[in-house]
Amino acid sequence: GIQVEQSPPDLILQEGANSTLRCNFSDSVNNLQWFHQNPWGQLINLFYIPSGTKQNGRLSATTVATERYSLLYISSSQTTDSGVYFCATGGGNKLTFGTGTQLKVEL
């Protein structure tokens, strides 16, 4: 099956800093999502982005499907951005998740 790798596994930022999270996948996909999992376990949709670039406030994402990677940019980070960020992808009807990036934003 498809393999999904995320980097870095852990990231500590000072409030106000910018960061880039990366997601590599092993096969062509027609479906890629970025999620933020809060400390209570809720997976919050950030982007559905099988290709191209999207922006939503301080967050933006780019997927280059032909090169099998996606990037999530967080600008001017805030403490509320802390949590685990997952990318997930797959063909057809199931999502395969990466192992996540644990982000901690400190004052």
Site of interaction with another protein (CB under 8 A): 4, 30-31, 33, 35, 40-43, 45, 48, 50, 86, 88, 92-100
Closer residue to another protein in complex, CB, 60/102: 102
Q: Which amino acid is at 29?
A: V
Element housing 20 (H / E): strand 19-25
Closer residue to another protein in complex, CB, 17/43: 43
30-45-28 Cα angle (round to 5)? 15
Closer residue to another protein in complex, CB, 15/104: 104
Closer residue to another protein in complex, CB, 17/24: 24
Least spacing, CB of residue 78 vs another protein, in Å: 22
Least spacing, CB of residue 61 vs another protein, in Å: 13
Distance from C-alpha of 82 to C-alpha of 102, rounded to nearest angstrom:
8
**Token digits for 20?**
């880039």
Residue with tokens 């996606």: 70
> Max Cα separation, the chain?
42
Least spacing, CB of residue 29 vs another protein, in Å: 9
